[in-house]
């Protein structure tokens, strides 16, 4: 049996590790857009606030450690389309631009959530990484935590506002 997991942050990482632990003969494959896995986003506030000094503590697996467990890991890959009837994925390697198909017997969607952009006038700006004006950040991904920390190092930053605190 071949199981593909789309997304490999906390839920996806835990899914692939559990699948391999329960059935070592299962072929387990994961695709993720990012270049890191198993990030515990709930720790961003602790990291930004200086409680967690080393952000490596917010990860509990690496692509290499999953490969050592027999899991096929594809980082920097975007699943563009799912053909539900034929159990196929259309995948794009974001580094090379190469597109290909992969098939599965079972599929797990662990693509996570995305912050809601509040309907505040002037908040959005086209052409930026996340569609937000300069100095406004989402706090979801490891890379966003890094951006927030770098912004806070600037001497002209005097105040910070947090909107939403789930």
Give the residue numbers annotated as catalytic, written as ranges: 10, 42
Give the span between the Cα atoms of 48 and 152, in whole angstroms: 9
Radius of gyration of the chain (CA): 18
Q: In what order do the strands lie in the sheet with 27-32?
A: 71-75, 27-32, 2-6, 106-109
Q: Is 99 helix (H, G, I), strand (E, B) or coil?
A: strand
Looking up tokens 């993720």 gives 32
How many angstroms separate the CA atoms of 51 and 47, rounded? 6
């Amino acid at each position: 049996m071949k199981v593909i997991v789309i997304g490999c942050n906390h839920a996806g990482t835990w899914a692939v590790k559990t699948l391999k632990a329960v059935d070592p003969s299962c072929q387990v494959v994961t695709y993720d857009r990012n270049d890191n896995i198993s990030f515990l986003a709930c720790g961003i506030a602790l990291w930004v606030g200086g409680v967690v000094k080393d952000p490596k503590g917010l990860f509990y697996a690496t692509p290499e450690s999953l490969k050592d467990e027999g899991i096929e890991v594809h980082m920097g890959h975007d699943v563009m389309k799912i053909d539900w009837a034929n159990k196929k994925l259309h995948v794009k390697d974001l580094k090379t631009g190469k597109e290909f198909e992969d098939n599965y017997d079972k599929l797990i969607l662990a693509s996570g959530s995305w912050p809601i952009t509040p309907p505040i006038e002037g908040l959005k700006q086209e052409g930026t990484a996340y569609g937000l004006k300069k100095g406004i950040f989402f706090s979801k991904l490891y890379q966003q935590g890094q951006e927030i920390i770098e912004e806070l190092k600037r001497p002209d930053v005097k105040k910070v506002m947090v909107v939403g605190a789930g």
